[in-house]
Amino acid sequence: MAQRIGAHTIRLTEEVCISASAGVAGPMEKQGPLGAFFDRTFEDERMGESTWEKAESRLQNTAVHTMLDKAGLQPTEVDVIFAGDLLNQCISSTFGLRELQIPLCGQYGACSTMAQSLAMAAVFVDAGAAQRAAAVTSSHFCAAERQFRLPLDYGGQRTPTAQWTVTGAGAALLCRGAEGPRVRCVTIGTIRDYAVKDVANMGAAMAPAAADTLLRFFEDTGTAPTDYDLVLTGDLGLVGSTLLRELMKQHGRDIAAVHNDCGMMIYDPQRQDVHAGGSGCGCAASVFCSAIMQRLKRKGLRRMLFMATGALMSPTSSQQGESIPGIAHLLEIEA
Amino acid sequence: MAQRIGAHTIRLTEEVCISASAGVAGPMEKQGPLGAFFDRTFEDERMGESTWEKAESRLQNTAVHTMLDKAGLQPTEVDVIFAGDLLNQCISSTFGLRELQIPLCGQYGACSTMAQSLAMAAVFVDAGAAQRAAAVTSSHFCAAERQFRLPLDYGGQRTPTAQWTVTGAGAALLCRGAEGPRVRCVTIGTIRDYAVKDVANMGAAMAPAAADTLLRFFEDTGTAPTDYDLVLTGDLGLVGSTLLRELMKQHGRDIAAVHNDCGMMIYDPQRQDVHAGGSGCGCAASVFCSAIMQRLKRKGLRRMLFMATGALMSPTSSQQGESIPGIAHLLEIEA
């Protein structure tokens, strides 16, 4: 039975645990600072498939299979999977999960999708609507570039605020009363639109939503940044993270000492030419489900917030002159 | 507290009711047999907007505002809204709901999205994760044609199995213990892929998923088609409905006497040139939230199943040679 606290937060009352997870990634992510933490990496951006879209499906499929193997479970033992990605009509999820035959609820929150999917899974398990619920999201640099920006072959210039879409996926399994980090609270975000129109600056478009959700969570729960070892955002990158920290400071909730961002952790800016950092549905998912889950499990982290942000635009909406609305969903997690 | 029954069905234990709903539609739908039932219709396919995509956002926005007006509520009194559509990155939902500032969880299940969104809302309310949860989906003929098929200006020929995307939206509000039809059970579907590749025959691609979910529901709950006044599918159309009835008959669960399909109800095939019937996220949503909800409220229906089916393809997946996977989600509803 969940309980609403404050205006926007859901407190879970059962012991909802993340009992298993897996993060998988591509060759560039393997070469980054978190390379050794991924459960599986691929040497080739195609992952043995004929197209980048099928390669992204392979990432998602591999993440779920690896997670199930670690949990010692068959796909039939999972009651529902919440899944999403950035491709039109979420085809990475559809074709990646098709053979698994797990009841599927497709989620779309742009790069916030992993937090949203984890939130759905947590509420379903807490409610008894599922004994075991899974969450998975993915992204792929090459598939995203040609869909959202330019064909790679153009060799287009990237601006300093641009982020690099992570080639990766992460999957997590939630159930009651198992070993593993516990999900305590969930905050579902609302759309924030500060009229940013620069599609090469997603961090700026998403930072206000991140600040909004984080402030609501602190207000609803009566907690403060100092109550947490880590406030982890999904893919704000360098520009968005700087803005978020400034916004939080302005509101008297300085997070600088505890904040980190998956998009800043996954690549080495000195060695890897990623400009403002990593992004994509697969960024938060692959980092949280590998390096962060491993830290939680060995109690290197005791209490954290995981918040993924999404830029809810499409090339069509941008071509039609629209701004980029942001959204952020949050989970409070204890080791 | 939800309860799992059988392998795939969730039984809600609280009195989760659909306390208000609204269906809105375009000019062609207004001229159809259900024209008088919609809460609001538009004379023009543009709905006063400059593009079809913005027009679809207007449909979704109008559906939610109309529903809130009927319920006598402000947007701030809704804890969460589950929303989706067919456009890339679900922009009808984002831009249609942006000003409402209701916590948003984007859903993607192609044309199954209304059943999925209602299911999410029902579980959240049952669990206490939301006091009031809403569901809304939309589609727009002109926006869908140019994204999925051809620009309208080409005047392309349509095959006999092709369906006509409904210009419409539907919104529903769920809460506990109110007046209104009650959601009893939810069945989340799995992907079924019978290797149909004809993008002008979505009914055939989706019918196996519909049969699968319906058979699982009957098995899980120990019910039979004769226990229901109506088994309502979302947009199988003429071809898909015929196939579903045949498949169900083959499995000893003849639904012919109680089955109807929103895609077959919304247009008059004698007067309106829609070939195999209506389709789209807005088809099931606008019909269920208007004509069907009105019948439920005046007890013209006592016990029914609402099941929406989705074809989880994209133009890209079809161009890459993929088949069209189907999915179907179901709700059991009592007046």
pLDDT tens, position by position, A43-70: 999 999 999 999 999 999 999 999 999 9
Binning pLDDT at 50, 70 and 90, where does residue B94 land? very high
Closest in B1, B89, B314 to A1, CB measured:
B1
Residue of A nearest to B119 (CA): A105
Cα–Cα distance, B94 to B97 (Å, whole number)? 6
What's the confidence (pLDDT) of residue A33? 98
For residue B31, the Cα-to-chain-centroid distance in whole angstroms is 20
Tokens of A145: 């570039």
> Is A155 a residue whose pLDDT tops 90?
no
Per-residue pLDDT, B178: 87
What DSSP designation does A180 have?
A: S
Neighbours of B284 (CB within 10 A): 36
On the question of pLDDT at A320 being above 90, the answer is yes
Q: Which residue of A has its CA nearest to B188?
A: A103
The answer, yes or no, to whether residue B121 has pLDDT greater than 90, is yes
Sign of CA pseudo-dihedral A111, A113, A114, A115? positive
CA distance A278 to chain B (A): 20
Secondary structure, 3-state, A246-291:
HHHHHCCCCCCCCEEEHHHHCCCCCCCCCCCCEECHHHHHHHHHHH
Least confident of A2-6, A154-158, B207-211: A154-158
Cβ contacts of B8 on chain A, cutoff 8 Å: 103
- Note the pLDDT tens digit of each residue in B61-82: 999 999 999 999 999 999 999 9
| CA A180/CA A70 separation, integer angstroms | 13
Q: Chain B residue with minimal CA distance to A129?
A: B2
- Tell me phi and psi for residue B22, to 5 degrees: -150, 135
pLDDT tens by residue, B283-330:
999 999 999 999 999 999 999 999 999 999 999 999 999 999 999 999
| Chain A, nearest residue to B322 by Cα | A95
- Of the candidates B237, B69, B242, which has an alpha carbon nearest to the alpha carbon of residue B162? B237
Instruction: Taking residues B256-282, report their average pLDDT.
Output: 97
pLDDT given for residue B184 in this prediction: 98
Looking at residue A150, its pLDDT comes to 87
Q: What is the structure's pLDDT at B150?
A: 87
Tokens describing residue B27: 């000019």
| Inter-chain residue contact A89 with B102, CB threshold 8 Å | no
Please give the sequence-ordered ranges of beta strands (E in DSSP) within A160-242, or none if there are none: 164-165, 168-176, 182-187, 230-233
Question: Cα–chain-centroid distance for residue B311?
Answer: 12
Q: What share of chain A is helix, strand, coil (3-state, %, to 5)?
A: 40, 25, 35
Nearest chain A Cα distance for residue B135, angstroms: 14
Token code pair at residue A267: 């690549």
The string of DSSP letters for B82-120 reads EEE-SSGGGHHHHHHHGGG---EEEB-BTBTHHHHHHHH
Instruction: Categorize the per-residue pLDDT at A117 as very low, low, confident or very high, splitting at 50, 70 and 90.
Output: very high
Average pLDDT over residues B116-141: 98
Whether A188 sits inside 8 A of B101 (CB atoms) is: no
pLDDT for residue B300: 95
Record: contact B191-A94, CB cut-off 8 A = yes
The residue in chain B having the minimum alpha-carbon distance to the alpha carbon of residue A143 is B316
Helix (H, G, I), strand (E, B) or coil at A295: helix
Radius of gyration of chain B (CA): 18
Chain B nearest-CA residue for A106 = B108
Alpha carbon of B270: minimum distance to chain A alpha carbons (Å): 33
Assign A34 a pLDDT band (cuts: 50, 70, 90).
very high
Q: What's the rounded mean pLDDT across residues B107-114?
A: 98
Distance from CA of B89 to the nearest CA of A (A): 6
The number of C-beta contacts closer than 8 angstroms across A and B is: 181
Which whole number is the average pLDDT over A17-44? 98
How far does chain A reach from its first CA to its final CA, in angstroms?
21
pLDDT for the residue numbered B156: 86
Question: How sure is the predictor about B263, in pLDDT bands with cuts at 50, 70 and 90?
Answer: very high
CB contact (8 A) between residue A107 and residue B107: yes
B57 has pLDDT over 90: yes
pLDDT above 90 (res A151): no
Of B108, B110, B189, the CB nearest to A103: B189
- Taking an 8 Å cut-off on Cβ atoms, the answer to whether B322 and A95 are in contact is yes
Place of tokens 């579980």: B123
Give the model's pLDDT for residue A315.
Answer: 96
Confidence of residue A162 (pLDDT cuts 50, 70, 90): very high
Instruction: Work out the average pLDDT over A134-147.
Output: 96
Q: How far from the centroid of its chain's Cα atoms is residue A100's Cα?
A: 22
pLDDT-derived band at A177 (thresholds 50, 70, 90) equals: confident
Give the CA angle between residues B15, A107, A133 to the nearest 5°: 65
Q: How far is the alpha carbon of A327 from chain B, nearest alpha carbon, in Å? A: 8
Distance from CA of A233 to the nearest CA of B (A): 18
SS in 3 state form for A64-77? HHHHHHHHCCCHHH
Over residues B2-35, the pLDDT tens digits come to: 999 999 999 999 999 999 999 999 999 999 999 9
Mean pLDDT of chain B: 97
A90 — pLDDT class (breaks 50, 70, 90): very high
Instruction: Give the residue-averaged pLDDT of A68-85.
Output: 98
Task: Check whether B151 has a pLDDT greater than 90.
Answer: no
> Any idea what DSSP says for residue A152?
G
Query: Cβ separation of B79 and A4 shorter than 8 Å?
Result: yes
- Within 8 A of A127 by CB-CB distance, chain B residues are 1-2, 123, 126-129
Q: What is the pLDDT of residue A178?
A: 87
Asked whether the beta carbons of residue B103 and residue A190 sit closer than 8 angstroms, the reply is: yes
- Using a CB-CB cut-off of 8 Å, the residues of chain B touching A46 are none
**Nearest Cα residue in chain A from B6:** A79
d(CA A248, CA A253): 5
Beta carbons of B106 and A116 less than 8 Å apart: yes
By percentage, how much of chain B surpasses pLDDT 90? 96
| A87:B316 CB<8 A | yes
Q: Is the pLDDT of residue A156 over 90?
A: no
Which residues does A164 contact at the CB level (< 8 Å), separation at least 6? Answer: A141, A267, A272, A274, A275, A277, A278, A279
pLDDT at A263 over 90: yes
Q: Tell me, what's the pLDDT at B104?
A: 98
Q: Whole-prediction pTM value?
A: 0.98
**Per-residue pLDDT, B177:** 86
A110 contacts B193? CB cut-off 8 A: no
